[in-house]
Amino acid sequence: MHTMTEAEVLPPTAQLLGMEDVEHARPICAHSHDFGVISLARAGHASHQTEKGLARVGAGTLTLLGPSSWHAYEPDPVIELTNLYMTRALLAVGTSRHLTTEVPAPLRDALDPENSQGSVISFALTEPDVTALKRVFAQVRGDDGPRSIFSQLALYYQLLDALVPAVTAAPMLMASSSADHQHSPLAPGLRKYGEHVTHAIALLHDRIDHPWTLGELAAGVSISSSQLVRTFRADTGSAPIAYLQSIRAERMAYLLRTTDLSIAAVGRAVGWPDPSYASRRFNAHWRLSPSAYRRGLS
């Protein structure tokens, strides 16, 4: 299972926190974080898989993801999220002992970098609480250049000030067993992957630019190629190499959004050294050429 790092989501000018608006129309495979995330669903619906099971999320759902947590999404048919990313250093300040009497237990337990134990908690917010959070998010998003550490800390405390009443008043969403959803059209394949598939996914994510073959991947997880194809397809709904092509296209899009690297360099970074082939694979996934995708961001 791929572990996302702070360096992957935080821009160079954000030492402590950053923000991103995302729209998912494709399943997001199980992955973990080494940082904290506050995720607010703006529109759409999805089935959300965590260690506790499956939960239905939609507009107004607030999800707190602590460091080391893992999750996956199955959009229905699309989910729009605002994700606020927080480093472990920032969370250590926000959950320090002198704040424990002010921060409610669910919020503190989810975001404490030392004690979260991979916690993921979701709440159904009221419209006033959503509006209050969006006001703080707008300040975090403000495009006024690099911020000092103290400015970022001030924004985090404003965020906590909005989160505390919201989390205190909102009902917590209860997850149900993945087994209850195995035949649901809204959540195909959303369950914790088996050991070999989890290992294979981790290898593909960690060495995404490697020229993988099915045989080499199977050897890497100590099973036969036919076993790997069978178990991988059963768990993810996709063949291993098709899955690799998909995550390469997703990573390429991320690099196009967040770096100034040339399209050829981005292609090489994800394992597609031939620019023409990289463009064709990207287009097959996104229905846009890499250059058109990047132009659409401006």
Q: What one-character-per-residue DSSP string does 113-169 give?
A: TTT-TT-EEEEE--HHHHHHHHHHHHHHH--SS---HHHHHHHHHHHHHHHHHHHHH
pLDDT of residue 253: 87
Q: In this predicted model, which residue has the larger pLDDT, 82 or 28?
A: 82
Tokens of 69: 């947590």
Q: What is the reported pLDDT for 177?
A: 45
pLDDT in tens, 83-111: 999 888 888 775 555 555 677 777 777 77
Lowest mean per-residue pLDDT among 48-52, 233-237, 267-271: 48-52
Q: Is the dihedral of CA 59, 83, 241, 221 positive or negative?
A: negative
Each residue's pLDDT tens digit, 282-295: 999 999 999 998 88
Cβ pair 33, 67 in contact under 8 A:
yes
Residue 211: pLDDT over 80: yes
If one counts every other C-beta atom within 10 angstroms of the C-beta of residue 261, the result is 13
Higher pLDDT, 145 or 141: 141
Mean pLDDT across the chain? 81
DSSP 8-state class, residue 24: E
**298 pLDDT higher than 80:** no
Q: State mean pLDDT over 45-69.
A: 84
Q: What pLDDT, on a 0 to 100 scale, did the predictor assign at position 7?
A: 75
Q: Judge contact between 5 and 32, C-beta under 8 A.
A: no
Q: Categorize the per-residue pLDDT at 113 as very low, low, confident or very high, splitting at 50, 70 and 90.
A: low
Instruction: List pLDDT tens digits, range 245-259.
Output: 988 998 888 888 878
pLDDT digits (tens, 9 = 90+) for 148-200: 888 888 888 888 888 888 888 888 877 654 334 333 333 333 445 677 887 88
Confidence of residue 271 (pLDDT cuts 50, 70, 90): very high
The model's pLDDT over 124-134, given as tens digits with 9 standing for 90+, comes to 998 999 998 89
Beta-carbon contacts of 45 under 8 Å, excluding residues fewer than 6 positions away, are 56, 57, 58, 75, 76, 79
Q: How confident is the model at residue 97, as a pLDDT? A: 53
The set of residues, in sequence order, having a beta carbon less than 8 Å from that of 92 and lying 6+ positions away, is 113, 114
